[in-house]
Structure 1
């Protein structure tokens, strides 16, 4: 939340200048780094039920360092595709700890970085798409020589360290033909079986090339979906030919923008936030009330689970304690993994015990699919906010925002104003302020603290707070 001083400073500028300054401030913030590290960790399936703690931490920190330095997306993906070395020294190698067979590597690379599901072609030519069984195994053979020493996933190795390297020989046999396919990226000429070097470099060069018809579209579509609540192609992981974009011209423009920006995703995000489309009001008109596809207005969307929990803590000036679950093959004992004050958006992985995050639809990171995250409302969510063990204990926590305001002898009107500014980034209207004050008076002086907590509860459970407008 901006301070009064920050608001006064920015209000000196014209509206468009003020908007651009706030956008730049956001993109340069630690919050940006934490949020997009978490988003890419969803995509890469950083999950403590499938990786040991050392690997989880290394993978997450590798992603975070690349987001912090604003590494272009093509370089980010290339580093993953061609990763070698120790799992604790090069976090990107853990992609290959999660996907250990050439077939799994192929399917997850295609899904994550091109939005293509080619799994059907593993057994037969795809009945509705262009991918054949031969193409599948040609692509998979690019990974046939990826090897690892040590494995930290099943408890056989105490420290969970793993060293990834590329062998000088080895081919993947195509079951239907009983022989290997010449290695080749999708729709590309094959390379010789005895070609020198890491075959994955050929894949990385093709994958991130501006002429690849899927790469820029896939990441552009994911970024668009983050800001608008839905992709130009839905589902965002499904860019097959028979599933066209709602606006092909727009998706082409997004792709071209990324290519011209040399895959600087932050520049793409800034352009979106500066656009009239993104800045449209969420208040529906009679003429667009039923429209849900073409962005004639902003579609409200519920805050993702981690952001909602952090927002509650930010408003109330409280914190949440997180415990990492035991790693695979170990006892059920929890590991001391997260410092006090760690935010939900800063968690390394999805293997964290949190009824709130689970209830509000966090991504469990089991498969490469955005569908794993849910923003569907439920009665369980309503009940948990009403009488669960997340919000109510925070409202009663010692030295939270309300306690400190009372100790500072702030009057009720000032406390309500501060709660509105912290939670909704606006001051209460005259009617809202008066209604709140009238309700608080009904409690009486002896129950003033309870009344203020209830007032805060009503703000924190409101649609305006729980939804992005």
Structure 2
């Protein structure tokens, strides 16, 4: 494409395509308002079509802990004991204590090691050297912590001290084995076990594990007569060789638990055993300093009402090692600025401690109190930013918002006339009016029908052409009618009838196997990946094999009746294109792994009786769309948020699980509650997000928030999706794309099928719709994309085509100045700046005076090169 005229525009265009390379930093789009991104990009800026405009992140060296800060206690304002009250049941339980201090500047510190503890009645309990309460007798007392003239107290109750207690296999032995990794995936919890010894992953089935330990292998793993000779003690202590190495010592609490259970005759797990109902972690949140060390303590609450300190038996993991690292004992070291959720896991229950290091900058509260607030989204975002000392960027300009809103909501660019009208409109509510107008556009329907078709795998690779169109048209009609998301999902789940008459029924032609159906239902409508539970308990979530196969059994009664049109046959048999979906009155799914059918059961609900007649999908649909389902509304809210904000509140958006928390849980909860309160109205959710000041914030980062990619301080720049980019090229050049089998003028975002041949769409990351995964759509930059933009047919042929928008402008007698302004309004939704217009007009005037062999119209060639440079610029190819 590049001609000699192109060189005249290199100093002033937004982005000049060169082979390979790295994109210019985000600051290229971050200069003064009104100044073009074009002028700010260096002449040799390389082309990176799918790159981001983010400066290199500052890395944190985690090889060594940062120095622990030494804080003067002179600024200490108060201390508190955690937990605030202590209740100990039985003689074997203790309770670790923390002393959390708050300082004048608002930061907190773990001051436990520097504090002095006393108990008002030493006959009830004492505090040992590990700062743990050791019970001595039933009774009540007061714990006092003292430091630097500050005192804090907590009431203490000890009960059932003299009551004989029995070690529990469920609540004592299995937690030890889980913490030591004995039943983990790499060890005996693997699908095939290790060396003939197989435990259920993380102890999800205590009855099976008890039988394995006490009866299998001639019961040699546990010795009732001489407990000390049991293999489950000899091997983990390396008394005899053990492939897993030493797991604990003979003097450890772990040894004491298992040996005590053996000595008591190995009592079996009972249905009457108390079960863990929840776990709590302290501190639940804290603002610390770099290098600070913070101990976490974990308390389990049981079904019989008692609580226990289970810190030693819990597993810990940091959600951001650059901010906080944590060891296996819950000891945290703070390493960098930001916020990290530290995950705590005990007996399939998960909770978090949110630990943060606010950025070291002084910000007046007025920065946040005077920031624009349009709805509750902004309240939650600004509250979080204030805690982290991250200021928000100023609002986006009208031109930025206009282009952004069109692209994010409808996948199209505003026309020059639409841009002019909006920019000239002085009414204060013009942005809200624009949002309302966008939601009524047919392109809005096209955009969201395409998005849900990605989610629901609409493709002729799975369906016949008629079935594919039936499925797509049903989705598009649902979007056009603003069908509530709960009804939309329920209609798919319970779909019956002829697939050409009921488009939703085509879902059941794509997912015919109960296991595939179960996995896809969880992924598409709850954002949960349960496929790991096909072979074993999920390693990162609470789902077990029983959950997995119980849910699959909900779909075992779905049947397909297929009719062959008379006289039509293929080489392999009848041509089936008339299918009816119905539910059999009975039927069960049995997998060869478990050898028995499990009662039909949604993931987090009570099981149905296997004898329940009728369509079990009705039960699943009712549970799925219930407001009490913690995943259904969160899933769609998170997906819609990502569309507009560039990043989900939970990432990846198709990996919702307890161990993957939201970056702003308060905001996500508020959005979900509001979405449910408005009857699962997706259009309402779209409007709410777009009306927020958070969405309308500039993409130009401040120096204080340039590294923020997840807290919402500024709009995240993102490359246009493949279909949107292709449609934009067609829109600006007025040269429509031609897709095989579809009429000329069909936009990429109107295609019902991703199996349509298009080199451009494939190169730029269009999903193949084989899996319900956001990762199927790729934004990874490739050399193929660069070469295609530079030398490929798609853009270049549109620019050269006779009758293009350039030819129209030339025929109408537009001056160079007018053409430059038209191109800027078409591509960037803004007029060219004076400096841009002057430089480009001068370049065009110079080009028009030159004669080049083989070119009849030097002006047209120069305008083509100018258009190419603008349409390959960062300002055009990215939404900002």
Q: Which range, TM-score by smaller chain?
A: over 0.9
Structure 1 portions without partners, runs of 5+: 324-335
Deviations along 1:316-347, whole A, 9 cap, x unmatched? Answer: 11100112xxxxxxxxxxxx3x1111000000
State whether structure 2 residue 836 is matched by structure 1 residue 432: yes
State whether structure 2 residue 863 is matched by structure 1 residue 452: yes
Would you say the 8 A contact 1:302–1:466 is kept in 2? yes
State whether structure 2 residue 783 is matched by structure 1 residue 379: yes
Cα separation, 2, equivalents of 1:198 and 1:80: 14
Would you say the 8 A contact 2:764–2:779 is kept in 1? yes
State whether structure 2 residue 555 is matched by structure 1 residue 139: no
Q: 1:151 to 1:238 in 2, by over 3 A?
A: farther
Q: 1:7 to 1:259 in 2, by over 3 A?
A: same
Would you say the 8 A contact 1:150–1:161 is kept in 2? yes
Deviations along 1:4-52, whole A, 9 cap, x unmatched? Answer: 377447744423x100010011111011100000000000011112221
Would you say the 8 A contact 2:633–2:676 is kept in 1? yes
Cα separation, 1, equivalents of 2:649 and 2:668: 7
State whether structure 2 residue 776 is matched by structure 1 residue 365: no
**Equivalent residue, structure 1, for 2:512:** 100
Which residue, 484, 492, 495 being the options, matches 1:80?
492
State whether structure 2 residue 408 is matched by structure 1 residue 4: no
Would you say the 8 A contact 2:416–2:826 is kept in 1? no
Cα separation, 1, equivalents of 2:482 and 2:571: 34
**Equivalent residue, structure 2, for 1:295:** 712
Cα separation, 2, equivalents of 1:2 and 1:394: 18
Cα separation, 1, equivalents of 2:534 and 2:874: 46
State TM-score, norm by structure 1.
0.94
Cα separation, 2, equivalents of 1:181 and 1:159: 33
Cα separation, 2, equivalents of 1:121 and 1:284: 43
CA RMSD of aligned residues (A): 1.8
Would you say the 8 A contact 2:738–2:744 is kept in 1? yes
Cα separation, 1, equivalents of 2:418 and 2:543: 58
Would you say the 8 A contact 2:627–2:676 is kept in 1? yes
Structure 2 counterpart SS, 1:238: coil
Decide which structure has greater strand share: 2
**Equivalent residue, structure 2, for 1:464:** 875
- 5 Å matches for 1:36-435? 36-150=448-562, 156-158=573-575, 160-323=577-740, 336=741, 338-435=742-839
Would you say the 8 A contact 1:55–1:87 is kept in 2? yes
- Whose radius of gyration is greater, 1 or 2? 2
Q: Which moved more, 1:342-351 or 1:92-101?
A: 92-101
Would you say the 8 A contact 1:150–1:157 is kept in 2? no
Deviations along 1:91-114, whole A, 9 cap, x unmatched? Answer: 111111111100000000000000
Cα separation, 1, equivalents of 2:580 and 2:497: 5
Cα separation, 2, equivalents of 1:238 and 1:355: 30
Q: 1:392 to 1:243 in 2, by over 3 A?
A: same
Structure 1 counterpart SS, 2:793: coil
Would you say the 8 A contact 1:300–1:468 is kept in 2? yes
Cα separation, 2, equivalents of 1:299 and 1:8: 26
C-alpha displacement at 1:155, in angstroms? 7.3
Cα separation, 2, equivalents of 1:462 and 1:227: 22
Would you say the 8 A contact 1:423–1:460 is kept in 2? yes
| Larger relative contact order (CA 8 Å, sep ≥ 6) | 1
Deviations along 1:180-207, whole A, 9 cap, x unmatched? Answer: 1111111211222232331101100000
Q: Which moved more, 1:221-230 or 1:162-171?
A: 162-171
Cα separation, 1, equivalents of 2:773 and 2:563: 25
Cα separation, 2, equivalents of 1:160 and 1:377: 40
Structure 2 portions without partners, runs of 5+: 1-413, 565-569, 850-856
Q: 1:280 to 1:413 in 2, by over 3 A?
A: same
Cα separation, 1, equivalents of 2:544 and 2:425: 61
Q: 1:154 to 1:430 in 2, by over 3 A?
A: farther
Cα separation, 2, equivalents of 1:281 and 1:183: 50
C-alpha displacement at 1:376, in angstroms? 2.1
State whether structure 2 residue 847 is matched by structure 1 residue 443: yes
C-alpha displacement at 1:126, in angstroms? 1.9
Q: 1:118 to 1:151 in 2, by over 3 A?
A: farther
Deviations along 1:271-328, whole A, 9 cap, x unmatched? Answer: 11111111111111110111111111111100000000001111111100112xxxxx
Q: 1:380 to 1:177 in 2, by over 3 A?
A: closer
**Count of residues in correspondence between the two structures:** 455
Q: Which moved more, 1:441-450 or 1:274-283?
A: 441-450
Cα separation, 1, equivalents of 2:666 and 2:445: 30
Structure 2 counterpart SS, 1:150: strand
Would you say the 8 A contact 1:360–1:375 is kept in 2? yes
Q: 1:242 to 1:203 in 2, by over 3 A?
A: same
Deviations along 1:221-275, whole A, 9 cap, x unmatched? Answer: 0001100111011100000111111111111111111101110011111111111
**Equivalent residue, structure 2, for 1:333:** none
Cα separation, 2, equivalents of 1:286 and 1:155: 66
Cα separation, 2, equivalents of 1:395 and 1:118: 48
State TM-score, norm by structure 2.
0.50
Structure 1 counterpart SS, 2:539: coil
Cα separation, 2, equivalents of 1:137 and 1:12: 59
Structure 2 counterpart SS, 1:186: coil
Cα separation, 1, equivalents of 2:664 and 2:423: 36
Would you say the 8 A contact 1:11–1:18 is kept in 2? no
